[in-house]
Amino acid sequence: MTPVFLSHVYVVIDPASYEAIRHSAEIRALASAKEKTVDPSHGGWTAFYITGRQTAIEILVAGSTSAGDQWRLGQSGIGLGYGDAGGTPYIEKRLRATFGEKVMLEAGKSETPGVVPWLIEIDVEGDGSDVLSTWFTEIAPGYLVARYPGAGIEHLLSHQQYLAAGFLPDRLLDDVVGLTVALNPSEASILVAELKVAGWMIRQMEEKTVISGPDIAITIIPAGSRAGIREVGLRLRRPTRRQDTSLGSAELLLDGEMGRLRFWGSN
Structural domain boundaries enclosing 163: 5-263
Would you state the pLDDT for residue 266? 46
Would you state the pLDDT for residue 155? 62
pLDDT digits (tens, 9 = 90+) for 143-172: 777 777 766 666 655 666 778 777 899 999
Would you state the pLDDT for residue 180? 97
Question: What does the DSSP assignment read for the chain?
Answer: ----EEEEEEEEE-HHHHHHHHT-HHHHHHSEEEEEEE--TT--EEEEEEE-SS-EEEEEETT-EETTEEP-TT-EEEEEEE--TTHHHHHHHHHHHHHGGGEEEEEEEESSTTSSEEEEEEEE--SS--SEEEEEEEEPTTHHHHHSTTS----TT-SSSTTGGG--TTSSEEEEEEEEEEE-HHHHHHHHHHHHHTT-EEEEETTEEEEEETTEEEEEEE--SS-EEEEEEEEEEEEEEEEEEEETTEEEEEEEEEEEEEESTT-
Whether the model pTM is above 0.85: yes
Q: List the chain residues with pLDDT less than 50.
A: 113, 266-267
Would you state the pLDDT for residue 267? 43
Number of domains in the chain: 1
Would you state the pLDDT for residue 40? 59
